[in-house]
Amino acid sequence: MPFDTQKFITSQIEAAKTKVGGKPALLALSGGVDSSVAALIVHRAIGPKLHCVFVDTGLMREREAEKIKSTFEPLGLKVEVIEASSRFFAALKGAEEPEVKRKIIGEQFIRVFEEYAKKHKIAVLVQGTIAPDWIESGGAGRDTIKSHHNVGGLPKDLGLELFEPLRDCYKHEIRELAVALGLPPAVAQRQPFPGPGLGVRIVGEVTQEKAVIVRKCCVIVEEEIEAAAASGEIERPWQYFAALLPTKTVGVRGDERSYHYTVVVRSVRSLDGMTANFSHLPPKLLEKISSRITNSVREVGRVVYDITNKPPSTVEME
Ligand code: XMP
């Protein structure tokens, strides 16, 4: 049976009215389609009692705060930006193990939420958790593949009620809901971005320097792949980005020896992120991405392409 978006939206507006009621609620917008859809549904139920915040962790996409404001303010939602990057980088210092990093990032988000909630007397936390998030976090008796930050990081003593209107939805359904709710195509069709952000695209210890490097590389990968898709050279992949390895390798710049980071380009086809196949990108496109990265990001000396499917690997590096 096809997914009935209007029926779903109406039922979740009613659920929000019952569960959240007239209480002030907090929702962290990430710029992704999941939190955007959750925000619009709950906003329809409780209006300005919904506080939307964008937590700048230092690990978000390029110019994300600006983009979010310009998307949501015309739809009547006010977005408050919380600058929290120094606390995230401080908490992540020295952490190398992926699950430890995910837990730290999740916990920092919760601390930011708690502080905001105390200040604004918030009672409910709304999250845009979707089915693959909790399934891969060990839900319904499954093995934990990775603790999605919006699932695994929630402490038991959280003084906030949780409302997750999209818990049973898959990504393609979320995109249909986004269109039905009037979100612009750029948001409805936007590629997924993980909750822990660039933190899982920096293999090993996260630093501010590495976040700047991988963010610049992600922009290049996105621009080149989107341009190739717009010109009809390729079909737009499901997800495409760059990740930074902690490994430095030797190279030559001019006639001098260099010793710089390695960047992985990842591009996959998928339906819901549960399984994925690497994209067969044309060599010319890969070459363009590689030379743009090494020419404009001085800290990168080598670019490699990930040719692994999920399984056995995952989409993100950690
Ligand atoms: P993996 O790496 O698990 O990714 O194969 C599958 C899809 O999920 C995204 N992803 C996340 N999304 N919180 C999220 O909301 C997370 O912690 C998280 N980790 C991975 C990933 O980008 C891909 O689309």
132-190 confidence digits (pLDDT tens) = 888 877 776 777 777 776 665 566 677 789 999 999 999 999 999 999 999 999 899 99
pLDDT of residue 156: 64
Mutate to test the pocket of ligand 1, among 102, 191, 198, 315 (most ligand atoms within 8 A of CB): 315
> Which one is predicted more confidently, 174 or 21?
174
pTM of the model: 0.91
Longest dimension (CA), the chain: 69
Can you tell me which atom of ligand 1 is nearest the CA of 270?
A: 24
The token pair at 191 is: 């590629």
User: CA–CA separation, 127 vs 287, rounded Å?
Assistant: 39
Q: Assign 284 a pLDDT band (cuts: 50, 70, 90).
A: very high
Q: Show the ligand 1 pocket: residues with CB < 6 angstroms.
A: 133, 136, 146, 148-150, 192, 194-196, 239, 273, 310, 314-316
3-state SS of 62-81?
CCHHHHHHHHHHHHCCCEEE
pLDDT of residue 146: 73
User: CA–CA separation, 19 vs 162, rounded Å?
Assistant: 9
Q: Which helix (H) or strand (E) holds 176?
A: helix 171-180
CB 23 within 8 A of CB 48: no
CB 218 within 8 A of CB 62: yes
- Average pLDDT of 192-219? 97
Mutate to test the pocket of ligand 1, among 103, 129, 148, 150 (most ligand atoms within 8 A of CB): 148
pLDDT of residue 151: 64
Residue 74 has pLDDT above 80, yes or no: yes
Q: Assign 310 a pLDDT band (cuts: 50, 70, 90).
A: very high
User: CA–CA separation, 230 vs 236, rounded Å?
Assistant: 8
- 248 alpha carbon to ligand 1 midpoint, in Å? 26
Nearest CA to 27 out of 123, 102, 106 is that of: 123
- Average pLDDT of 179-203? 94
pLDDT of residue 53: 97
pLDDT of residue 152: 52
Can you tell me which atom of ligand 1 is nearest the CA of 192?
A: 24
Peptide bond into 312 cis (omega under 30): yes
User: CA–CA separation, 58 vs 88, rounded Å?
Assistant: 7
User: CA–CA separation, 186 vs 263, rounded Å?
Assistant: 26
Residue 22 has pLDDT above 90, yes or no: no
pLDDT of residue 272: 84
User: CA–CA separation, 306 vs 315, rounded Å?
Assistant: 10
- Average pLDDT of 285-295? 98
- Average pLDDT of 30-35? 92
Closest residue by Cα to atom 12, ligand 1, is 194
Interval 35-59: pLDDT, tens: 999 999 999 999 999 999 999 999 9
Mean pLDDT of the chain: 93
pLDDT of residue 143: 76
Burial class of residue 191, CB neighbours in 10 A (0-12, 13-18, 19+): middle
Closest residue by Cα to atom 11, ligand 1, is 194
- Average pLDDT of 248-276? 95
User: CA–CA separation, 126 vs 109, rounded Å?
Assistant: 13
How do beta strands 124-126 and 256-270 pair? Answer: unpaired
% of the chain with per-residue pLDDT over 70: 97
pLDDT of residue 149: 61
- 188 alpha carbon to ligand 1 midpoint, in Å? 17
- Average pLDDT of 88-117? 96
Q: Assign 126 a pLDDT band (cuts: 50, 70, 90).
A: very high
Nearest CA to 269 out of 300, 247, 237 is that of: 237
pLDDT of residue 98: 97
> Which one is predicted more confidently, 3 or 149?
3
Q: Assign 218 a pLDDT band (cuts: 50, 70, 90).
A: very high
Q: Assign 95 a pLDDT band (cuts: 50, 70, 90).
A: very high
